[in-house]
Chains A and B, each alone.
Chain A
Amino acid sequence: KNQVEQSPQSLIILEGKNCTLQCNYTVSPFSNLRWYKQDTGRGPVSLTIMTFSENTKSNGRYTATLDADTKQSSLHITASQLSDSASYICVVRDNNAGNMLTFGGGTRLMVKP
């Protein structure tokens, strides 16, 4: 069974600090990997998308990296803001399963002033 595992499950940091969230997956063959941000009570919103040939992609203060050989991705948040408090979900698309997406359990980030 395809799996996507994220760590840590939760994280508390002070405003202005950086942090890195991890995602390990077993989905193979792999089509693409997305990081979503989900605010409390809202649906997930896509931050970045990477194919197997991309190593890094940035979206403002968010930078995602991908190592397709080790099947690992990370999301780095720079100069965190209070509005970054949310769950961050790693999602991998299986190239053999149509539009099937496998979601990680998410990392719940809390940024404190």
Chain B
Amino acid sequence: GAGVSQTPSNKVTEKGKYVELRCDPISGHTALYWYRQSLGQGPEFLIYFQGTGAADDSGLPNDRFFAVRPEGSVSTLKIQRTERGDSAVYLCASSPQPGSEQYFGPGTRLTVT
């Protein structure tokens, strides 16, 4: 079956611009997670959705970052006024329920110039 998909696979944007990154979780998975991975580092937790609600957004670095999951399926990570330090791979994962194995998407590589 289809795994977690993320679009775009690569995004290059100029400093100060707004970007949206999309995640399509595995069908039926209620939990969805966003992570940020810098080069040579492990993923860092950003936000976790259970259904439509953000159950834990403690990993969002500041208020320029926001994520939504309006219908409990697809999620969008939104970054305003991008900075060069936002350059990273943004990974999305989903799991059938909280606590079960997370399945990762391929990530979106964001480059802010």
Q: Are A89 and B42 in contact (CB under 8 A)?
A: yes
- The answer to whether A43 and B45 touch (CB under 8 A), given A98-B55, A98-B56, A101-B102, is no
Question: B45 contacts A101, CB within 8 Å?
Answer: yes
Bound form: Cα–Cα A6–B41 in Å: 11
Q: How large is the interface on B (under 10, 10 to 19, 20 to 34, 35 or more residues)?
A: 20 to 34
B41 touches A100 (CB 8 A): no
Please tell me which one of the listed residues A9, A34, A44, A98 contacts residue B43 in the complex, with CB atoms under 8 A apart: A44
Which of B31, B40, B104 sits near A45, CB closer than 8 Å? B104
User: Cβ of B43: which chain A residues have Cβ within 8 Å of it?
Assistant: 44, 89, 103
Q: Is the CB of A43 within 8 A of B56?
A: no
User: Which residue in chain B gives the minimum CB-CB distance to A41?
Assistant: B106
Q: Counting chain B CB atoms within 10 Å of each CB, which of A46, A89, A99, A106 scores highest?
A: A99
A64-96 contact mask (Cβ, 8 Å, vs B): 1 or 0: 000000000000000000000000010101000
What are 6 contact pairs spanning A and B, CB under 8 A?
A: A42-B106, A43-B104, A43-B105, A46-B102, A101-B102, A103-B43
Residues of A within 8 A of B (CB): 4, 6, 9, 34, 41-46, 49, 89, 91, 93, 98-101, 103-106, 108
